[in-house]
């Protein structure tokens, strides 16, 4: 019976390889998420860990029943009742959307210029985009404090140039947060766009020019539509983490900036209210998964429409 | 037989002034009428030169093309033919020299202002647009209006026999259909000159021959000047009125296919256009009738050509012009320069036979002949006589 057993082991091997991504997802996403979800239904307690109930493995069926009876939606009710959380969510979405729009406006021409540079320059330009990652993210954000603060580099330069008389309050303002978000996430917008744009056949833009299109028309009718997959990938790659961003609003936005990441942090570490913080985390996840699902839906619909048009 | 339908209605709106035509001399020409002389289509290149770093891509090329001509630039890859085409289209700027079309100096015009269109080797069809949108892309800015644009797209589809494919995306077309869309798109703006970069390169052999005929028929019908770049000599000969042969950036010989084939200027041109026997020798004195004697290792050959007596030369002769016969046959014929050799190979190819004859000095001559209507074919191993007709043997510089 060597034949069937070998076939079985082959099937198992193939299944293992295919299952690896799912195993990864289960271990490092689903299990932690289940734990977070459970905590979000618990009640805070002055204990170790700081919530109740805690599952007793040897409590038998009765233990399980008690455990589930102790879970409730109290935290979610609290979040719904307090306008702070709603405002934080809306303001997070607003910051992320605005910064994504700015990133699209800056990232598209940047990636386009990179893709059109000579073959000798392209690897150098890509390296320049990646180089900041060699420095700690935290240090780079701190560097922005030095630039943006009232007596910082930017204000000093503007005053020297005679453009302003008194320092602008850029640091600790929404504007500072936007500068920080744009700076920190630019590579995530540029790289996917560049990857798509550099693979476009240069003959396509030449054909557009040959058919009478000036540079602008060639860009908006040929290059940009064909780069949309890269643009969408870059936008999602930036938007999703920006909604939950904590460090940038905390360091550059001052105490008045309201974003979900900060709320989450203060619930966890200042108030030690793990259940409430977990509930906020769950809501944040729903908030950022939403755009992805919508995007996928739109993709599917477009593909279907394209299929339909061909008939 | 391909009979392209009448492509476009003949009248253009009189108030139309496109950017393209305001930059160039206005053309009031209908694509319906294929006339023989188009002074505004005359393309003149003067000492055009392009260098890429240390590499001389195009080296002082001068060329004068009459309007309505089907011209072919022939040469191996890297000979500069594509660079030359791209300079005419405007994608490369010459380092020196001028490019004129009719009375217009194109040299400094950007591609989108030249009254020229190009069909790309990769076709460069816009993958996100339907066939109709691809064809209509070049019509924006011509001031045609919606109805006339739609009419022209229809006419173009008829021209390349793709009616009913308007809504298809390029990726849902076959290679041959894509090629025809690319051709139609390049013709949409009624260019004064159409450039085609290896237009048949991506097609398989059978389709290629059919498409050659189609391309010729469309060119004759429209009367537009076509300039084709190709590395395939057979294709160049099948398509072009005249062929320009390029060698390392230089245009080395220009002429009709037959002239290049029968009277090549160099061994490079001779070898590029087909199989050829090359025999080294030394040129003798001029004889009456323009025939010269050449002293070669095979003996004295008589050939036609110019040169100073005593110079080292090459005698070039096409395999099909050598006459192979069994010994003793055809004694009475006036075939000067009969050589003796041993037949080492006779390959039957259906319509003809290919021979390899080993000569006394160890060199090999290749010959090919139509099958004789009757009579024996020389057998391998036999001693044969190879006649070299003086009018078919060309004297070339060594």
- Domain total in chain A: 2
B76 to chain A nearest CA, in Å?
Answer: 21
Structure tokens at B113: 């202002």
Residue A89: which of A255, A282, A236, A235 has the closest Cα?
A282
Q: Is B110 at the interface with chain A, CB within 8 A?
A: yes
- Are residue A165 and residue A257 in the same domain, yes or no? yes
- Residue B18 φ/ψ, nearest 5 degrees: -80, 165
Q: For B87-130, write each residue's pLDDT tens digit.
A: 999 999 999 999 999 888 999 899 999 999 999 999 999 999 99
Residue A104: which of A240, A234, A299, A292 has the closest Cα?
A234
- Are residue A170 and residue A29 in the same domain, yes or no? no
What is the spatial distance between Cα B339 and Cα A220, in angstroms, rounded to a whole number? 70
Per the prediction, chain B carries an average pLDDT of 85
Beta strand B70-74 with B225-230 is parallel
Structure tokens at B369: 């002949």
Domain annotation covers residue A118: yes
Residue of A nearest to B141 (CA): A212
In this prediction, residues B301-321 reach a mean pLDDT of 87
Three-class SS state of A190: helix
Report chain B residues whose CB lies below 8 A from the CB of A206.
89, 91, 111, 118, 120, 124
Asked whether B313 and B397 are in contact (CB, 8 A), the reply is yes
Res. B241: pLDDT tops 80: yes
Q: Is A305 at the interface with chain B, CB within 8 A?
A: no
Say which of A207, A212, A222 has its CB closest to residue B20.
A212
Q: Is B142 at the interface with chain A, CB within 8 A?
A: yes
Cα-based distances in Å from A307 to A297, A304, B315 = 15, 5, 63
CATH of the domain at A273: 1.10.3720.10
pTM: 0.79
Domain annotation covers residue A68: no
- Are residue A89 and residue A5 in the same domain, yes or no? no
Of residues B21 and B126, which shows the higher confidence score? B126
Give whichever of A65-79, B219-233, B345-359 has the largest mean pLDDT. B219-233
- Are residue A234 and residue A171 in the same domain, yes or no? yes
- pLDDT for B374 equals 66
Packing angle, helices A274-310 and A83-116, rounded to 10: 50
Ranges under pLDDT 50 in chain A:
1, 310-311
Residue of A nearest to B171 (CA): A310
Sheet arrangement for strand B96-101 = B55-65, B43-52, B96-101, B104-105
DSSP state of B101: E
Let me know the angle formed at the C-alpha of B78 by B72 and B79, rounded to the nearest 5 degrees: 50
Domain annotation covers residue A41: no
- pLDDT for B330 equals 53
- Are residue A6 and residue A102 in the same domain, yes or no? no
- Residue B69 φ/ψ, nearest 5 degrees: -85, 150
In this prediction, residues B247-273 reach a mean pLDDT of 93
Q: Which of residues 178-237 of A touch B (CB under 8 A)?
A: 201, 203-204, 206-214, 217, 221-222, 225-226
Report chain B residues whose CB lies below 8 A from the CB of A220.
none
Structure tokens at A199: 């693979």
Domain annotation covers residue A152: yes
Residue B284's pLDDT band (cuts 50, 70, 90): confident
Three-class SS state of B198: coil
In this prediction, residues B134-146 reach a mean pLDDT of 90
Q: Domains for chain B: give ranges and CATH numbers.
A: 19-267 (3.40.50.300), 276-397 (2.40.50.140)
Sheet arrangement for strand B242-247 = B116-119, B193-197, B225-230, B70-74, B242-247, B250-255
Q: Which residues have CB under 8 Å from A123's CB, separation 6+?
A: none
Q: Is B91 at the interface with chain A, CB within 8 A?
A: yes
In this prediction, residues B154-177 reach a mean pLDDT of 93
Report chain B residues whose CB lies below 8 A from the CB of A207.
118, 120, 124-126, 185
Report chain B residues whose CB lies below 8 A from the CB of A226.
127-128
- pLDDT for B317 equals 92
Inter-chain residue contact A211 with B189, CB threshold 8 Å = yes
Q: Which residues have CB under 8 Å from A8's CB, separation 6+?
A: none
Q: Is A139 at the interface with chain B, CB within 8 A?
A: no
Q: Give the mutation candidate from B137, B171, B172, B178 for the A interface (greatest A CB count, under 10 A).
A: B137
Q: Give the mutation candidate from B128, B142, B165 for the A interface (greatest A CB count, under 10 A).
A: B128
- Are residue A18 and residue A153 in the same domain, yes or no? no
Q: Is B127 at the interface with chain A, CB within 8 A?
A: yes
- Are residue A9 and residue A144 in the same domain, yes or no? no
- Are residue A28 and residue A93 in the same domain, yes or no? no
Q: Which of residues 79-98 of A touch B (CB under 8 A)?
A: none
* Domain of residue A195, residue span: 83-310
Residue B355: which of B330, B387, B333 has the closest Cα?
B387
Q: Is A36 exposed, middle or buried (0-12, 13-18, 19+ CB in 10 A)?
A: middle
Percent of chain B with pLDDT over 70: 87
- Are residue A107 and residue A215 in the same domain, yes or no? yes
What is the spatial distance between Cα B7 and Cα B185, in angstroms, rounded to a whole number? 12
- pLDDT for B389 equals 86
Cα-based distances in Å from B13 to A59, A213, B28, B185, B187 = 91, 21, 10, 21, 18
Of residues A118 and B21, which shows the higher confidence score? A118
Domain annotation covers residue A306: yes
Q: Give the mutation candidate from B112, B117, B153 for the A interface (greatest A CB count, under 10 A).
A: B112
Domain annotation covers residue A64: no
Residue of A nearest to B18 (CA): A212
Domain annotation covers residue A120: yes
- Are residue A106 and residue A243 in the same domain, yes or no? yes
Res. B9: pLDDT tops 60: no
Cα-based distances in Å from B363 to B103, B224, B277, B340, B356 = 55, 48, 10, 12, 10
- Are residue A110 and residue A259 in the same domain, yes or no? yes
DSSP bridge pairs for B64: B44
Domain annotation covers residue A242: yes
- Are residue A17 and residue A149 in the same domain, yes or no? no
- pLDDT for B331 equals 52
Residue B10's pLDDT band (cuts 50, 70, 90): very low
Q: Give the mutation candidate from A207, A309, A310 for the B interface (greatest B CB count, under 10 A).
A: A207
């Amino acid at each position: 019976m060597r034949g069937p057993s070998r076939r079985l082991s082959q099937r198992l091997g193939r299944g293992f390889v295919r299952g690896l991504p799912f195993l990864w997802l289960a271990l490092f996403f689903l299990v932690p998420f289940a734990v977070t979800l459970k905590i979000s239904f618990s009640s805070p307690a002055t204990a170790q860990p700081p919530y109740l109930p805690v599952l007793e493995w040897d409590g038998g069926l009765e233990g399980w029943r008690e455990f589930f009876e102790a879970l409730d939606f109290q935290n979610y009710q609290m979040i719904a009742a307090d306008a702070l959380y709603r405002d934080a969510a809306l303001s997070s979405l607003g910051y992320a959307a605005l910064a994504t729009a700015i990133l699209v406006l800056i990232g598209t021409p940047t990636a386009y210029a990179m893709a059109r540079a000579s073959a000798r320059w392209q690897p150098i330009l890509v390296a320049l985009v990646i180089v900041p990652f060699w420095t700690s993210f935290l240090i780079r954000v701190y560097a922005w404090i030095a630039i943006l603060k009232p007596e910082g580099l930017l204000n000093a330069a503007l005053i020297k140039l005679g453009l302003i008389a008194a320092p602008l309050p850029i640091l600790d303002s929404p504007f500072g947060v936007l500068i920080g978000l744009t700076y920190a996430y630019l590579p995530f917008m540029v790289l996917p766009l560049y990857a798509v744009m550099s693979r476009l056949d240069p003959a396509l833009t030449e054909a557009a020019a040959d058919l009478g299109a000036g540079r602008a028309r060639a860009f908006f009718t040929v290059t940009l539509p064909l780069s949309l997959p890269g643009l969408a990938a870059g936008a999602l790659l930036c938007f999703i983490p920006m909604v939950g961003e904590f460090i940038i609003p905390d360091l550059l936005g001052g105490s008045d900036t309201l974003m979900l990441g900060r709320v989450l942090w203060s619930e966890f570490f200042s108030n030690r209210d793990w259940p409430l913080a977990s509930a906020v985390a769950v809501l944040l996840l729903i908030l950022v998964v939403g755009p992805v699902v919508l995007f996928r839906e739109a993709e599917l619909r477009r593909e279907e429409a394209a299929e339909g048009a061909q008939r | 037989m391909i009979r392209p339908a009448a492509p476009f209605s003949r009248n253009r709106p009189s108030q139309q002034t496109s950017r393209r035509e305001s930059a160039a001399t206005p053309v009031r020409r209908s694509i319906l009428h294929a006339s023989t002389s188009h002074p505004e289509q005359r393309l003149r290149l003067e000492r055009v030169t392009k260098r890429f770093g240390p590499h001389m891509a195009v080296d002082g090329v001068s060329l004068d093309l009459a309007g309505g001509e089907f011209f072919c630039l022939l040469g191996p890859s890297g000979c500069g033919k594509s660079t030359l085409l791209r300079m005419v289209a405007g994608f490369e700027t010459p380092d020196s020299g001028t490019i004129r079309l009719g009375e217009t100096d194109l040299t400094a015009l950007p591609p989108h202002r030249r009254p020229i269109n190009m069909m790309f080797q990769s076709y460069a069809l816009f993958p996100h647009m339907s066939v109709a949108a691809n064809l209509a892309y070049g019509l924006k800015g011509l001031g045609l209006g919606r109805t006339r644009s739609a009419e022209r797209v229809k006419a173009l589809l008829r021209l390349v026999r793709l009616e009913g494919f308007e809504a298809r995306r390029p990726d849902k077309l076959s290679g041959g259909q894509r090629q025809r869309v690319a051709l139609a798109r390049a013709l949409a703006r009624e260019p004064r000159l159409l450039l085609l970069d290896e237009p048949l390169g991506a097609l398989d052999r059978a389709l290629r021959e059919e498409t050659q005929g189609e391309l010729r028929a469309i060119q004759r019908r429209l009367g537009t000047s076509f300039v084709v770049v190709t590395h395939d000599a057979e294709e160049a000969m099948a398509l072009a009125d005249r062929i320009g042969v390029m060698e390392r950036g230089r245009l080395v010989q220009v002429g009709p296919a037959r002239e290049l084939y029968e009277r090549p200027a160099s061994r490079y041109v001779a070898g590029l256009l087909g199989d050829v026997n090359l025999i080294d020798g030394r040129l003798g004195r001029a004889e009456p009738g323009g025939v010269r004697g050449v002293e070669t290792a095979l003996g004295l050959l008589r050939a036609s050509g110019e040169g100073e007596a005593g110079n080292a030369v090459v005698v070039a002769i096409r395999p099909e012009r050598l006459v192979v016969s069994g010994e003793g046959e055809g004694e009475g014929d006036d075939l000067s320069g009969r050589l003796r050799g041993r037949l080492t190979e006779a390959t039957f190819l259906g319509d003809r036979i290919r021979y390899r004859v080993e000569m006394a000095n160890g060199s090999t001559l290749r010959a090919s002949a139509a099958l004789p209507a009757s009579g024996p074919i020389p057998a391998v191993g036999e001693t044969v006589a190879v006649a070299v007709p003086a009018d078919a043997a060309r004297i070339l510089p060594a």
